[in-house]
Structure 1
């Protein structure tokens, strides 16, 4: 049902849409459910019989990390599917509702099949599908509820959205590890499932009040894909067409070699590079080849498409380079729920310290609650104190500079985590409280990168291309997970293990310093690219 807002106010100060309460309530429960299960996934897998076939704890930790990052890759890949179905066929409301039901089914599988690998992994797939499917839609569906008469109220709601996300993550990170420890996995996965059902019910209750923007059904002749197609295929073939075609062939060959290796055991594809790694590499090859090819021949599309559409595609392709350089940040950030949790389990909880909240924090898994808590503190600190102070000192705090510094600061957090790992490997008793420092730096980096990147992308892309940019932004987390899986698979090769051991390192310590170096190189490359980036200002006219 489509609701027409009657209140009109030239200044945009109309009433708050009454249906917003359903969307905010849905978001609060959904975020608790997601972070509640996500943040206990690695410790559960390490101690579960699902990985009982592995010979030792180190192997179980490695397998748990791989499963976790494969799950994260899925969560941030499936927004492409959700956005496409919503835009082409079903609209936002129907797509959110149906994917939410899939989401609920996934939680039910986790709670019911804690000891059954097929059932449990099916649940993870369904949650990745459901969570990813609704991810690009809820915020934009919320925006659809506003018009010119009440646009000033939208900022209040979006601020509430961000606060609710971190509020849900904070309490889920604190409570669900305690539930897992005290009541077991059925309740630890069941409670988030109940919250997801409540989220779906709340969203459904508002069905008669929502403003529903109909799907475009792919009718835009000047869309991003249509312009790219014209650039590659119009007026004959060129170097760009060859590059795009080569990327398609390369992606197909990768998938074929993996299939042959998996089905016959033939050594035609690197051992340890499973379907998830292969698929992501193929996807990356397609995006790179088609993107570079289109940028070389974009002028061929002029005449068939308006200049604004062609310039919009060029802006998106430039932004994709920025996004590619951000992917190493996500490879660091998402490991706080895997690598850092595993490190924390080897540390000592300082219950004897008077300042440690022993009544609340009893395990390393709960340290993840620091991230949303610090976000809620750092964002106002940056906006009200840090950035104004830097401006007074003569420093121009641009979005690209913030993002570059964020990647670099995240690298520093992993240097500190690596030092803590060296202490542990040397036999020292290390207090869990020491992890507060890398969490602080990583969260500071997240605020500089993640919150800034969406603002940057929005300002650079024309209005018609903003949906495309959001889809590509989610893929940065997918490729961040890919770097983790690739690195882990490489480090486990016997010759690499032997080399690491010969240097006097453990695998965990090596990986921490490797990822720190990886992010530092990315930060330097980001800074170099940012110096030549032509900034745009594509905001909607008042």
Structure 2
């Protein structure tokens, strides 16, 4: 069914039932997450040993290239939510956009399964998965939120937690089983099985089509949309300081792209290691920062052209974007569990001699990634039923922003421990893979505090007409998390930097682990300072 965009009065009903269409969305998400994490978590070990990187001279070079390819793929996955959110809000609506991008997603899985030895075919598959997965990312969560109104919104938190729990349910089995499939049956099956699950996910989503609440897209007809208000602020009433800031950001972005392109003409004015992905992300970041800051400087110039509510909504979104920016270092840590931590685990010893180690099941270091979703499924109910009520009784206000800030800091601690493990390996010690359990536990605890919280936070803070776009910006935080990884790796590989690290008695891997830990600690402090000034909003749909 389709609901009208105009609000009506409603009050909370404590006995309101859970919307009956929610199981279709949850079932779709479980299968889709299995498909995504099933291929994502085996991507780095597959690439390191595949013929696709056989042209590289040594293991270290293949590991570095595999990490760069992985994080470039992740950047794409979390960039395309911008496209999906825009198409949904402006033209097609959430249901149609999710369904069509899901079909693209299925085609990408098929390419991976069929072209394991063909670079063009395999990388086309990665692009299609990034496009399909990214295109639906900002929509499934907001589509789930659209099924609630003021009468039953109190049940939304439980569903968002269940939503995040089911994501990890699918991820757990994918992370545990797909490395074994890759090891025993080869890449065609290891990439093919996730493709089958993605097809099932699409069918489940389609099956609930007659029961969904469909909020119609704006189709560009809203004169008071986010972009229209920003345009009025920047371009109305002549040129102002904010206009110059926004215009300068476009000039800066174009200059960076031009300097990168000049290398094809033999002019080396841009760092050689900063390829197109890094340059494009830096350009995008410059535009977002410049336009956002420029609009905030002179947002009041839009008054009179737009109602106060629309202007206040834009101001709220711009404040949310600052919160999002401060979360990006967390993703630079989190996503490396599927690259840097996998490579570290491959250098460790699997402790088959320990009585408690499940040798019958865990045979590959890549499977350690299954600890993350397993712990999420345990920590979410523990936090909601034990930790948060206990902290509340002790007098602590457990707000969303406080949880997110502490999550970033705890994730930094996990990387300190990973760095210590790397120092042991660099000293030539045999290190048990079981030690990785501790950093995985802390990183997962940080993830629950940051990511599970942000799903509800981002939805509740966004005005109704902008929910798809604001969720796209939330997922874009992972793109910039990947950018920090690529930038840092490219900088560290400079011969002069490598020489300096070596003279300090470090290896590249150990240095990077402690660097990212420090990066996250600084981000956590900045997040805490900003969160103290943030005013929380409530933008749930009325009945």
Q: Partner of 1:313: helix, strand, or coil?
A: helix
What residue is the counterpart of 1:204 in the other structure?
206
2:508 aligned with 1:492: no
What residue is the counterpart of 1:454 in the other structure?
455
Shift of 1:449: 1.3
Instruction: Map residues 213-232 of structure 1 onto 2, 5 A cutoff.
Output: 213-232=215-234
Aligned length: 538
Instruction: Map residues 166-177 of structure 1 onto 2, 5 A cutoff.
Output: 166-177=168-179
Which piece of structure 1 moves more, 517-526 or 208-217?
A: 208-217
TM-score by length of 2: 0.94
2:354 aligned with 1:353: yes
Shift of 1:264: 2.4
What residue is the counterpart of 2:7 in the other structure?
none
Unaligned stretches of 5+ in structure 2?
Answer: 5-9
Whether the 8 Å contact between 1:244 and 1:286 is mirrored in structure 2 is yes
Distance change in 2, residues 1:524/1:25 (3 Å): closer
Instruction: Map residues 281-360 of structure 1 onto 2, 5 A cutoff.
Output: 281-360=282-361
What residue is the counterpart of 2:436 in the other structure?
435
Q: Partner of 2:138: helix, strand, or coil?
A: coil
What residue is the counterpart of 2:514 in the other structure?
513
Instruction: Map residues 124-523 of structure 1 onto 2, 5 A cutoff.
Output: 124-145=126-147, 157-261=159-263, 263-523=264-524
2:528 aligned with 1:527: yes
Distance 2:176 2:208 in 1: 30
What residue is the counterpart of 1:106 in the other structure?
108
Whether the 8 Å contact between 1:334 and 1:481 is mirrored in structure 2 is yes
Q: Partner of 1:354: helix, strand, or coil?
A: coil
Whether the 8 Å contact between 2:89 and 2:468 is mirrored in structure 1 is no
Q: Partner of 2:430: helix, strand, or coil?
A: coil
Per-residue deviation, residues 322-373 of structure 1 (Å, max 9, x unmatched): 1111100000000000000000000000001001011111111111111111
Q: Partner of 2:222: helix, strand, or coil?
A: coil
Distance change in 2, residues 1:155/1:437 (3 Å): closer
Distance 1:462 1:144 in 2: 12
Whether the 8 Å contact between 1:13 and 1:152 is mirrored in structure 2 is no
Which piece of structure 1 moves more, 379-388 or 431-440?
A: 379-388
Distance 2:3 2:524 in 1: 47
Distance change in 2, residues 1:153/1:113 (3 Å): same
* CA RMSD, Structure 1 to Structure 2 (Å): 2.3
Shift of 1:162: 2.3
Distance 1:540 1:213 in 2: 10
Whether the 8 Å contact between 2:113 and 2:192 is mirrored in structure 1 is yes
TM-score by length of 1: 0.94
Shift of 1:99: 0.9
Distance change in 2, residues 1:140/1:424 (3 Å): same
Distance change in 2, residues 1:14/1:405 (3 Å): closer
Unaligned stretches of 5+ in structure 1?
Answer: none
